[in-house]
Amino acid sequence: MNTLGVLILGMALAVALYMLAQRFALGFQAQRPADYADRTPQVDIREALNGPLLCEGVIYGPTGRVTSRFVADFDAHWDGNRGFMTERFRYDSGTEQTREWRLTLGNDGNIRAEADDLVGPGEGKQQGSAVHLNYRIRLPESAGGHTLDVNDWMYMVENGTIINRSQFRKFGIKVAELVATMRRKPA
């Protein structure tokens, strides 16, 4: 084999190893909605994210320590495949934040998400017991005003509670992670 052949073979092997690492070795980022296609309970965001909801969670900083805790009230409603969800967050620092989501669910399970603090629309999919969204969010000036890439996963559990895990990245480096629950508000 000549030098060019060895170079091409080496490059092909490097690309294959990189793709395998992306899919299997990077854990959270390697998930795909199809990984949850056969899992139950099946999630339909028009039902799961509908009405008054209570959300409780924590945000971890880049070192893995909790940097913030929050409680939020969500109010969501759907008109066919178009959904609107208002989130009102109360952080342990005393700060409050409101976000209004505009969601569109396609018949194929694809999701388009918009909010005023997103940079362009977010995209995702609901499949099986999971919902996945990717979007870019612009933090408030009080939090630095940075734009972060968000990899957001929601998993439905048996009692109807949704467990949410999100990673926030800047230049590909994880800078924060969120873990929260979302459940129907008690009457």
Reported as half-sphere exposure (CB side, CA atoms, 13 A), residue 4 has a value of 0
Q: Which residues is 151 bridged to in the sheet?
A: 134, 167
Whether residue 85 sits in one domain with residue 5: no
**What tokens were used for 179?**
């873990």
Mean pLDDT of the chain: 90
Whether residue 47 sits in one domain with residue 22: no
| CA 166/CA 178 separation, integer angstroms | 5
Per-residue pLDDT tens digits for 51-64? 999 999 999 999 99
Whether residue 154 sits in one domain with residue 70: yes
| CA 102/CA 113 separation, integer angstroms | 6
Whether residue 144 sits in one domain with residue 113: yes
Count of domains forming the chain? 2
Whether residue 44 sits in one domain with residue 89: yes
- Residue 23 belongs to what domain range? 1-30
Whether residue 139 sits in one domain with residue 61: yes
pLDDT of residue 21: 60
Q: Is 29 helix (H, G, I), strand (E, B) or coil?
A: helix
Question: Mean of the pLDDT values across residues 100-119?
Answer: 96
pLDDT of residue 18: 66
| CA 41/CA 39 separation, integer angstroms | 6
